[in-house]
Each structure stands twice: as C-alpha cells, then as structure tokens.
Amino acid sequence: MPWCRQAEDGDSDRKAADADVGSGTGSAGRRVVRGQSFQRALHALFRPCRQMRQPSCRGNKFPTAFPGADLSGREDLGPKFDKRVQSFRCDNCVFESFVVYVRLENWVRAGTNYRVFFEIGHNKGYDREQPHYLMKESPSSGDVMARMIDVRDAFGKDLVTVADVSRLAVVARTDNGGVGTGDQIALRDVILEVQCAGSARVGRAQIAGSGWTAEWVGQVKPENWEWRGDQYISGVDVVYEDDPPREAVKQVDLGNADINSGYGGKFVWLVPTYSDRREDACTEMVVTIQYDSIPSLNDLAAGTGGHFRYLTCKKDAEKLPIRHLALHRSESEVQLEDIRKDKYNGMTMDINKDRRGTFLYLLWRT
C-alpha cells in the first residue's frame, strides 16, 4: 500500500510512520508536537488518509503520515487511538443493507401523537434536500421503531460507505409537516446496523439520545462503530427469552423473529455462534421435525405441544461456509429460486410445516 502523505519532498517536519493497530492490544502514538494538540493531529491523520482504506480491514499495519506527528508504540495512548483508527480502517465498507432502530424511553408520556421521522443523507430530490423516512405514527412509551433504509436513495449515489454517514436526526412532525413542539418524545437512543457488500462484515453504532426532544440531531463518529469481522457461523443457539437477544437472527423484513410467533408457547430466538476457523464453519442448516424429544437440543416449538422441531448444522469441508443468516416469514411457500435474487444461497425446509399459519424459513449466505 502506498504511503498516505501530504508532505512535499524534502519537508523534514512531516514524517511518515506505521501506526500499529493490534486486535485488542492497544498500541498507538507519541506526539511530536509543533503547535498541534493530539486531537488536531488525529484530525490531520483522518483528512489526508481517507482514501487509504484497507479492503475488509485486514492487516495489522496502517501506513500514516500527517503534519507534526510521529506515531509509534505507546501503551498509555493506545486504546483511544486504536479504536478510532481501527474503525477508520473499516470505512471502506460499502453498504449491502442499512437498518435503523429508534428507541424511546419507558417514561410516562414518552411517546407522541405526532409522526416520528428518521433523517439521514443528502438528496436534491427531497424537500430541503433532506431525505426523511417515517418510522411510526403515534409511537408509545418504550417503542422500538425499526426500518430498512435505502441508502442509495438517502445519499443519491450507488456506493455508500461508513465515511458518508455522519449526521442523523429524529424528528416528531405534526400533520402539516411542521416540527412538533407541544408533544415531544423521550428519545433513548438510535442504533445503526449495517452489512457490508461482498463480505460477512457487519457493523453496529449506538448513539445516545437526549431525553425529551421534538428534533434531535446526532453525530456518528468513528469510535461509535463496532465491527465483527469475516467470521464463519459455527452453530446456532436456540434461546428462550422474553426479549430478543441483541445478536438474534433477524427477519429479512425486520418483522417478528420469534420462531413461535402466532403459536403461543415460549419466545424462541436463534442466536448464531462464530469462529475464525474454517473447519468449524456450518455449511448447511437442517430443520428436523419428529415425535421424539432430543434432550440435548432446544425445541424450536417449545411450549406449543405437538411435534418437536430442532435445528442443527452440517459441516462439510468441500462446501462453502455460511457467513450470514436471516429468517423469512411468508404467507405462501417459498422456493430457493425466490431467495436467490436477494443473494441468499440456501434455505431450510419450512420450520412451521404441519402448523397452520405462516411459512417460516432460515436463509443463509456463504
């Protein structure tokens, strides 16, 4: 990779160095200060180096150069610097999917009678060139509003990366489109979850809200992002909890991902486990429906009576490893050809087979 430098040839005040970005070890730089604070030095680093992104954030070295600073091993500055640069190195991620969650506090009257919108991006096709997306009409206290955002529409271009996302807004609007003033919401936080195109990389950013507000504006900073790398799915835990675990498999359309939804019984969620080892990777997910119980496995239909339903994974070194899972609920039967347009490579049988109601499938990408 070429050096990222602004220095002119012969400019001895501008030095280049390898900023060693370890995985969790924390290493970073000492300052050679010529009237610049460490914060300004970081800003200087980010500006000239924006095009020096490493694909999929692989590698342990990130070549850097910026005016007035020399980076070397320094444990006391390591954690802060590492988190910023590690996230910065990941902003080559071109979004495959972009989901926003807007969460309200559980306080009395935390909801509103107005409509709540999420704002992101910049597009001349919108009023005031500000794209806005309806999250919910008249949300209630404690609501979690979820929506898939078309970032190509939001930013007016085909390739949108982490580097493009900075300003966010949550706005409560009246029927005539004005910003609400007399009926505010109590905003807990905003969560972004992204999937990188052509990769199993996923990112998550959580930005705290400000309590009571009618128009909240937030900033997404590099250190807000948390990343999970190109890992393989090594199994799936079937979990019984009232609320969905953070890492639970989601529905393609962000609907209810409770396996037992509509059938009573326990709340059942699927939570993937991950591994860096290719030999640990699942290559096929299998649903088995039978009369007899298997004590070592959790029943997908727990508490509903009838057949036992189990999920297991096969591991075959000659097949492609699974990197991503999603649930698909449908009113009609689905074939493999139907899901390939969304870049899924495989699917289970209908999890709800012989249960009256919707069809439910576990999909995967390799």
Q: What is the CATH number of the domain that holds 205?
A: 2.60.60.20
pLDDT tens profile 325-350: 999 999 999 999 999 888 899 999 99
pLDDT score at 40: 52
The radius of gyration computed from the CA coordinates of the chain, to the nearest angstrom, equals 24
Of 81-85, 234-238, 323-327, 359-363, give the lowest mean pLDDT range.
Answer: 81-85
The answer to whether residue 9 sits within a structural domain is no
The answer to whether residue 8 sits within a structural domain is no
Domains in the chain: how many in total? 3
pLDDT over 90 (residue 81) = no
pLDDT over 70 (residue 184) = yes
Where a domain ends, among 89, 109, 124?
A: 89
Residue 205's pLDDT band (cuts 50, 70, 90): very high
Q: Average pLDDT over the chain, rounded to whole?
A: 79
Helix 78-89 crosses helix 38-46 at what angle (to 10 degrees)? 20
Residue 80's pLDDT band (cuts 50, 70, 90): low
pLDDT over 90 (residue 151) = yes
Q: Residue 20's domain spans which residues?
A: 14-89
**120 and 182 inside one domain:** yes
Report the SS3 class of residue 79: helix
**68 and 101 inside one domain:** no
pLDDT score at 5: 32
pLDDT over 70 (residue 158) = yes
- The whole-angstrom separation of Cα 305 and Cα 352 is 13
Cβ atoms within 10 Å of 291's Cβ, excluding its own: 7
28-64 in b/e burial notation, b at 16+ Cβ within 10 A?
bbeeeeeebebeebbebbbebbeebbeebbeeeebbb
DSSP output for 25-41: S--------SS--HHHH
Where a domain ends, among 178, 202, 228?
A: 228
In the block, which residue shows the tokens 């949550």? 170
Of 29-33, 36-40, 290-294, 326-330, give the lowest mean pLDDT range.
Answer: 29-33
Residue 79's pLDDT band (cuts 50, 70, 90): low
The answer to whether residue 67 sits within a structural domain is yes
**35 and 73 inside one domain:** yes
Where a domain ends, among 55, 73, 89?
A: 89
Residue 180's pLDDT band (cuts 50, 70, 90): low
* 126-134, long-range: CB < 8 A, 24+ apart: 131/155, 132/171
pLDDT score at 181: 62
**269 and 215 inside one domain:** no
The answer to whether residue 294 sits within a structural domain is yes
Of 143-157, 163-177, 283-297, give the lowest mean pLDDT range.
Answer: 163-177
pLDDT score at 187: 95
The answer to whether residue 359 sits within a structural domain is yes
**104 and 56 inside one domain:** no
pLDDT over 80 (residue 237) = yes
pLDDT over 70 (residue 30) = no
Q: Which residue has the higher pLDDT, 86 or 283?
A: 283
